[in-house]
Amino acid sequence: MRYRKPPDFAILLVVLVLLCFGIVMVFSSSSVWAYYMHKDSLYFLKRQLVSALLGLIAMVYFMNYDYWKIKKYEKIILLVMYLLLILVLIPGIGMKINEARRWIGVGAFSVQPSEIAKLGMVVYLSCALERKQEDLKNFLKGLLPVLLVTGITCGLVLVEPHLSATVLIGMISMVMIFTAGANMSHLLLLGAIGIIGVVVLIIIEPYRMVRLLSFLNPWEDIRGKGYNIVQSLYALGAGGLIGVGLGQSRQKFFYLPEPQTDFIFAIIGEELGFLGSVFVILMFTIFIWRGYKTALHAPDLFGKFMATGITSLIAFQFLIHVAVVTASMPVTGMPLPFISYGGSSLTITLAEVGILLNITRYSEAK
């Protein structure tokens, strides 16, 4: 019988601190836009609180649900994941916003299947890589079946279209396959194919090429192609060392697009300055460190793969969000975990943390 310890206190504390911090920042960054659009400055805050409550319930549940039991539901999880990814593409079921079908729901209540797909792929890969440990060096017998499932998932997400989520799922898959001990030559080949694929997808879509070119020189067209990046840099620059003060952002007054989601780190930098930004980075650094330590000391392969996948998923989202806001990579829609506004994203991320915390309860770390 496995001995269950208390969950990792550092991970739990960091997540709760980031969640509370995020609720404050969602209200601060969204109040102006919420009042303009909905005549209610608390519009986004109230929905974020509901999502946070649901997420905390999910986190506590999975924190006490023995993680290895999830393996029994692998096929059901895959089936639900693919069903949702197909349904979201059907007109009348999938909600079309800004030429993309990424949500299923009615009115304010909606679910983003791509968020479910991220967790679903972590569960599937953890199960599959554990089963195929002895055959993983064999491309046809071990690696190809895993790649087919990954490819189908990425294809469905890409059709929405949602390139950032597609790339993220691909990156997580590569990390987990590498962790499982796949042949390095196979990984290098897959990496090269992935890079070529992303380049082709950028070239064939004019708006993606525009984003890439604007990233290389945003100041060339500050009112057009480079607008988002320039406004983000203005926000960060205005913050200085200690910021202009909580709630005092100027960029949220219709200058910075999506201040409560894709560019919330810029608002943090503006209102709380360099010190506030460093605080957020430090919190995520602690989470990533403890998450990978959990993977290292997990009692079985399934736990190791799950902890690696969940930690990498949250880590990559954090790194991409900060990179976009600081003009270190082209603009793409990526929420900041635990902090950005987003119902299904926040709820599912907290559920993932619950699974990670449950793995820490059986960790072999001293």
Residue 105 placed within a domain:
yes
| Per-residue burial over 58-75, b = 16 or more CB atoms within 10 Å of its CB, e = otherwise | bbeebbeeebbebeeebe
What pLDDT does 240 receive?
Answer: 92
Is the separation of the CB atoms in 29 and 322 below 8 Å?
no
Q: Is residue 76 part of a domain?
A: yes
DSSP secondary structure string for all residues of 122-169: HHHHHHHHHHTGGGTTSIIIIIHHHHHHHHHHHHHHHHTT-HHHHHHH
Amino acid at 285: T
C-alpha neighbours within 13 Å on the C-beta side of residue 300: 16
Half-sphere exposure of 344 (CA within 13 A, CB side): 16
Q: Is residue 151 part of a domain?
A: yes
The DSSP call for residue 69 is G
Q: What is the pLDDT of residue 106?
A: 60
* For the chain, percent of residues with pLDDT exceeding 70: 96
Q: Is 77 inside a domain boundary?
A: yes
Identify each DSSP E strand in 147-282 by its residue range: none
Q: Contact, 229 vs 262, CB < 8 A?
A: no
Cα 355 to Cα 67: distance, rounded to the nearest angstrom: 6
Whether 312 is covered by a domain: the verdict is yes
Residue 47, pLDDT above cutoff 80? yes
Check if the beta carbon of residue 205 is closer than 8 Å to that of residue 213. no
The region of weakest confidence among 51-60, 143-152, 186-195, 338-347 is 186-195
The first and second tokens of residue 108, run together, are: 């304010």
Task: Report pLDDT digits (tens) over 296-309.
Answer: 999 999 999 999 99
Residue 4 lies in a domain: no
- Residue 309 tokens read as 């996948």
What residues contact residue 94 under an 8 Å CB cut-off, 6+ apart? 87, 88, 101, 102, 103, 104, 160
Q: How confident is the model at residue 1, as a pLDDT?
A: 45
Give the mean pLDDT of the chain.
89
pLDDT at 283: 97
pTM for the model stands at 0.92
Dist. CA 78–CA 250, nearest whole Å: 44
Consecutive H or E run containing 100: strand 100-106
Count of domains in the chain?
Answer: 1
Domain assignment present for 2:
no
Residue 136: pLDDT above 70? yes
Residue 94 dihedral angles phi and psi, to the nearest 5°: -75, 135
pLDDT tens readout for residues 254-296: 888 889 999 999 999 999 999 999 999 999 999 999 999 999 9
Q: What is the pLDDT of residues 66-115, one digit of tens each?
A: 999 999 999 999 999 999 999 888 887 877 776 677 788 765 567 888 89
Range of the domain at 133: 9-360
Single-letter code of the amino acid located at 51: S
**Residue 366 has what pLDDT?**
57
For 223-258, the pLDDT digits (tens) are 877 888 899 999 999 999 999 999 899 999 988 888
Instruction: Name the least confident of 169-183, 184-198, 205-219.
Output: 205-219
Q: How confident is the model at residue 109, as a pLDDT? A: 67
- Kindly state whether residue 1 falls inside one of the protein's structural domains: no
